Structure 1
Amino acid sequence: MKPELAPYAAVCDGVAQLFQPFVEVVLHDLETETAAHIAGNFSKREIGEPSLLHEIDFRPTERLLGPYEKVNWDGRRIKSISIILRDSTERPIAVMCINADVSHFHAVMQTLSAFASVPVDHAKPASLFKEDWHERINEYIQNWTGARGLIVAELTREQKQQVVRDLSADGAFGGRNSAAYISRILGLGRATVYKYLNQERSAQE
């Protein structure tokens, strides 16, 4: 390997070791257009073989190429990025290609998606949810915050007060211990929930 490329070879080794076994880093010598160093090799390339830089539409004037997608020899999906390395005179001397095997992550995403999804033809069993006021309160609050682009953990005191009023108007306090449950969800004291509830009822009278 040329002395001017040796420092970059150490960078290749460091990146590959940090993310092993998911990352391969290939250092291409632009003068010879061959692979000068390979770290974390999973592409079955060999040092000294042609770089085939035309595969990534390489142009010497560019500094960064990608990210782009490739397919490994065994069918695995690879996310890649290429960095154009230059000397002190800005002359391109090498290309460092970082290849990340993302096939494992896609498999995990598909597994999680399949596990979390519910078939559209499977509705909630009416007998189970008919009296489940916990579920109704949860859905009401999620719909309330979602419609306003909010999340429960970041509601202001005024917003929590409005949630209690809207829940009361919708009859959510009919269930036993519903006030205690709502106070836990909103992070309010039970006395505060009853205070807001009484204010709502007084306003309706």
Structure 2
Amino acid sequence: MNLSNYLPICDAVVRLMAPLVEIVIHDIDQDMIIYINGKFSNRTIGDASLLDPEEFNSINTIVYPKVNFDSRPIKSISVLLEKNYLLCINCDISIFNKMQELSSVFLQIGKQSPSLFTNDWQEKLHVTIHAYLQNHNLSFDHLSQSDKKTLVKHLLDLGAFHEKNAADYVAKVLGLGRATVFKYLKEWRTQ
């Protein structure tokens, strides 16, 4: 087998994902590492692979977790290249674990103080719009004109336009012209 066909691909993947990826090619017959790039495992070419060839005879691809020498968690995938070579891609996922921890901290939302926002009709409007979008499986950024009109009708039915300047604010929030919102309201109020 000609490994030179694989090496540019391995080099490209490491270059793209540096410093998060290490790629190792093992010669199973010689129990030896014959290629390594993106080294973060402290292994070198010529080191013993320490693999059991019997484990790989019937497996084409395996994914597994590992722990690096410095305690970083690694997610690995190994692919058997013909009968005697094993390609291993090791990805340092410690940064993703940190990102997950950070996002969980940011996504923890405490309960809002009810007394603080009891008179904030704009906040109530935001909550109502958010609930409407969730209930109708809609995304705010992708609302069509028809969706916006239906949402304005929903807000009217809930009494959202009793507040002073509510129509102006709804127009601004939904990206509608002020005249458009007033036209809708006039249409529905005369029915």
TM class by smaller structure: 0.7 to 0.9
Q: Hey, what's the Cα distance between the residues in 1 that align with 2:177 and 2:47?
A: 70
103, 117, 130: which is aligned to 2:108?
Answer: 117
- The letter of the residue matching 1:177 is N
1:162 aligns with 2:160: no
Q: Hey, what's the Cα distance between the residues in 2 that align with 1:63 and 1:185?
A: 54
66, 69, 72: which is aligned to 2:65?
Answer: 69
Note the 1:19-38 alignment, pairs <5 A: 19-38=17-36
Change (3 A) 1:139 1:14: same
SS where residue 25 of structure 1 aligns? strand
Q: Hey, what's the Cα distance between the residues in 2 that align with 1:109 and 1:176?
A: 43
Match of 2:119 in 1: 131
- The letter of the residue matching 1:78 is I
1:60 aligns with 2:57: yes
Match of 1:93 in 2: 84
Task: Please give the TM-score of this superposition, normalised by the length of structure 1.
Answer: 0.82
Q: Hey, what's the Cα distance between the residues in 2 that align with 1:70 and 1:180?
A: 57
5+ residue gaps, structure 2, are none
Q: Hey, what's the Cα distance between the residues in 2 that align with 1:154 and 1:11?
A: 39
Note the 1:121-200 alignment, pairs <5 A: 123-200=111-188
Change (3 A) 1:58 1:198: farther
Q: Hey, what's the Cα distance between the residues in 2 that align with 1:140 and 1:58?
A: 57
Q: Hey, what's the Cα distance between the residues in 2 that align with 1:83 and 1:31?
A: 15
Q: For the aligned residues, what is the CA RMSD?
A: 2.2
Q: Hey, what's the Cα distance between the residues in 1 that align with 2:60 and 2:2?
A: 18
Task: Please give the TM-score of this superposition, normalised by the length of structure 2.
Answer: 0.87
SS where residue 25 of structure 2 aligns? strand
9, 17, 32: which is aligned to 1:11?
Answer: 9
SS where residue 53 of structure 1 aligns? coil
Q: Hey, what's the Cα distance between the residues in 2 that align with 1:107 and 1:137?
A: 35
SS where residue 139 of structure 1 aligns? helix
Q: Hey, what's the Cα distance between the residues in 2 that align with 1:80 and 1:50?
A: 18
Deviation at residue 177 of structure 1 after TM alignment: 2.1
Q: After superposition, what is the alpha-carbon deviation per residue over 1:41-89, rounded to whole angstroms, capped at 9, x for unaligned? A: 111223223323349x8423443222x3221122211111112223xxx
SS where residue 82 of structure 1 aligns? strand
SS where residue 109 of structure 2 aligns? coil
